[in-house]
Amino acid sequence: MGNRGMEDLIPLINKLQDAFSSIGQSCNLDLPQIAVVGGQSAGKSSVLENFVGRDFLPRGSGIVTRRPLILQLVNNQAEYAEFLHCKSRKFVDFEEVRQEIEAETDRLTGSNKGISAVPINLRVFSPNVLNLTLIDLPGMTKVAVGDQPVDIEQQIREMLMQFITKESCLILAVTPANTDLANSDALKIAKEVDPQGLRTIGVITKLDLMDEGTDARDILENKLLPLRRGYIGVVNRSQKDIDGRKDIKAALAAERKFFLSHPGYRHLAERMGTPHLQKTLNQQLTNHIRDTLPGLRSKLQSQMLSLEKEVEEYKNFRPDDPTRKTKALLQMVQQFGVDFEKCIEGSGDQVDTANLSGGAKINRIFHERFPFELVKMEFDEKELRKEISYAIKNIHGVRTGLFTPDLAFEAIVKKQIVKLKEPCLKCIDMVIQELVNVVRQCTNKVLHAAWLVWQGANEVLHAAWLVWQGANEGAACSMVGLAGSQ
Q: Where along the sequence are the contacts to ligand GDP (CB under 6 A)? A: 38, 40-46, 59, 139, 205-206, 208-209, 235-239, 242
- Helical ranges in 346-405 per DSSP H: 358-364, 370-376, 381-396
What letter represents residue 332's amino acid?
Answer: M
Q: Least distance (Å) from ligand GDP to the CB of residue 41?
A: 4
> Which residues contact residue 290 at a Cβ distance below 8 angstroms, ignoring those fewer than 6 apart?
3, 6, 9, 481, 484, 485
Q: What residues from 60 to 119 belong to the interface with Mg ion (CB under 5 A)? A: 65
Compare residues 207 and 392 and give the one whose CB is closer to ligand GDP. 207
Only one of the segments 25-33, 44-52, 455-463, 475-483 lies at the binding site for Mg ion (rule: CB under 5 A); that segment is 44-52
User: Which of these, 363, 365, 199, 400, lies nearest to 281 by C-alpha position?
Assistant: 199
Compare residues 22 and 236 and give the one whose CB is closer to ligand GDP. 236
Q: Which does 208 bind (CB under 5 to 8 A by kind): Mg ion, ligand GDP, none?
A: ligand GDP
Residue 45 interacts with Mg ion (CB under 5 A)? yes
Q: Least distance (Å) from ligand GDP to the CB of residue 105?
A: 14
Compare residues 10 and 140 and give the one whose CB is closer to Mg ion. 140
**Dist. CA 357–CA 364, nearest whole Å:** 10
Q: Which does 238 bind (CB under 5 to 8 A by kind): Mg ion, ligand GDP, none?
A: ligand GDP
CA distance to 23, 48, 59, 251, 277, per residue, from 234 (Å): 37, 12, 19, 11, 8
Per the CB < 8 A criterion, the answer to whether 69 and 116 are in contact is no
User: What is the pattern of x (binds Mg ion, CB under 5 A) and - over residues 387-426?
Assistant: ----------------------------------------
Phi first, then psi: what are they for 66, rounded to 5°? -120, -5
CA 152 centroid distance within chain: 11
Q: Which does 42 bind (CB under 5 to 8 A by kind): Mg ion, ligand GDP, none?
A: ligand GDP
Q: Least distance (Å) from ligand GDP to the CB of residue 50?
A: 9
**Dist. CA 298–CA 279, nearest whole Å:** 29
Compare residues 41 and 443 and give the one whose CB is closer to ligand GDP. 41
Q: Which residue is nearest to Mg ion (CB)?
A: 45
Looking at residue 168, the DSSP 8-state letter turns out to be T
Looking at residue 367, the DSSP 8-state letter turns out to be I
User: Which of these, 74, 115, 132, 463, lies nearest to 82 by C-alpha position?
Assistant: 74
**Dist. CA 175–CA 231, nearest whole Å:** 10
Beta strands in 412-463, from DSSP E residues, in sequence order = none
Q: Least distance (Å) from Mg ion to the CB of residue 50?
A: 13
Phi first, then psi: what are they for 49, rounded to 5°? -65, -35
Pairing type for strands 120-126 and 80-83 reads antiparallel
Q: Which does 223 bind (CB under 5 to 8 A by kind): Mg ion, ligand GDP, none?
A: none
Q: Least distance (Å) from ligand GDP to the CB of residue 171?
A: 15
How many CA atoms does the CB half-sphere of 272 hold within 13 Å?
30
Q: Which does 206 bind (CB under 5 to 8 A by kind): Mg ion, ligand GDP, none?
A: ligand GDP
Compare residues 65 and 141 and give the one whose CB is closer to Mg ion. 65
Per the CB < 8 A criterion, the answer to whether 167 and 22 are in contact is no
Q: Least distance (Å) from ligand GDP to the CB of residue 175?
A: 10
Q: Which does 175 bind (CB under 5 to 8 A by kind): ligand GDP, Mg ion, none?
A: none
Per the CB < 8 A criterion, the answer to whether 27 and 467 are in contact is yes
The end-to-end CA distance of the chain, in Å, is 16
Compare residues 60 and 397 and give the one whose CB is closer to Mg ion. 60
Q: Least distance (Å) from ligand GDP to the CB of residue 166?
A: 22
User: Which of these, 69, 17, 34, lies nearest to 280 by C-alpha position?
Assistant: 34
Compare residues 68 and 273 and give the one whose CB is closer to Mg ion. 68
Compare residues 240 and 318 and give the one whose CB is closer to Mg ion. 240
Q: Least distance (Å) from ligand GDP to the CB of residue 208?
A: 5
Q: Least distance (Å) from ligand GDP to the CB of residue 227?
A: 19
**Dist. CA 362–CA 136, nearest whole Å:** 44
Compare residues 140 and 471 and give the one whose CB is closer to ligand GDP. 140
Only one of the segments 40-48, 127-135, 225-233, 410-418 lies at the binding site for Mg ion (rule: CB under 5 A); that segment is 40-48
Q: Least distance (Å) from ligand GDP to the CB of residue 282?
A: 21
**Dist. CA 84–CA 105, nearest whole Å:** 14
Q: Which does 38 bind (CB under 5 to 8 A by kind): ligand GDP, Mg ion, none?
A: ligand GDP
Looking at residue 175, the DSSP 8-state letter turns out to be E
Compare residues 156 and 446 and give the one whose CB is closer to Mg ion. 156
Q: Which does 215 bind (CB under 5 to 8 A by kind): Mg ion, ligand GDP, none?
A: none
Q: Least distance (Å) from Mg ion to the CB of residue 275?
A: 21
Q: Which does 131 bind (CB under 5 to 8 A by kind): ligand GDP, Mg ion, none?
A: none
Compare residues 41 and 280 and give the one whose CB is closer to ligand GDP. 41
Gyration radius of the chain's alpha carbons: 33
Beta strands in 92-223, from DSSP E residues, in sequence order = 120-126, 132-136, 169-176, 200-205
User: Which of these, 171, 243, 176, lies nearest to 216 by C-alpha position?
Assistant: 176
Compare residues 42 and 471 and give the one whose CB is closer to Mg ion. 42
Q: Least distance (Å) from ligand GDP to the CB of residue 31?
A: 23
Per the CB < 8 A criterion, the answer to whether 403 and 423 are in contact is no
For residue 33, list its beta bridge partners: 169
Residues in contact with Mg ion by CB under 5 A are 45, 65
